[in-house]
Amino acid sequence: MPIWDEHVQWRGETLILQVYIQPRASRDEVIGWHEKGLKIRLKAAPVDGQANKHLIKFLAKAFKVTMQNVRLLRGESSRQKTLSIERPNIMPDWLATIEA
């Protein structure tokens, strides 16, 4: 099974995304696939939910949806997270580039 199929799934109009977070990075960026999901570096620290909020904001902007359309389903205190994105308006270039 391709890594894309393991970590990105559609459930109706909702995109389910497995991600692996590296907090306290020098900048926000998508690195590519990690064995546990899409690897994303975030500037935010993993303190008091800051990294989770920053991740939701980052993904909302990338998929052109409101922050309410992005939900953290699993992994609140873990680097490995599962998120849902309801009715994404676009598929970010970085996702299209690394899905193959």
**34-70, pLDDT tens digit by residue?**
888 999 999 999 999 999 999 999 999 999 999 999 9
The pLDDT of residue 64 is 97
Evaluate if residue 1 carries a pLDDT over 50. no
Question: What's residue 98's pLDDT?
Answer: 61
Domains and CATH numbers, the chain: 3-98 (3.30.1200.10)
Give this prediction's pTM: 0.89
Strands (E), 1-100: 8-11, 14-22, 29-34, 37-41, 70-74, 80-86
Higher-pLDDT residue of 89, 5 = 89
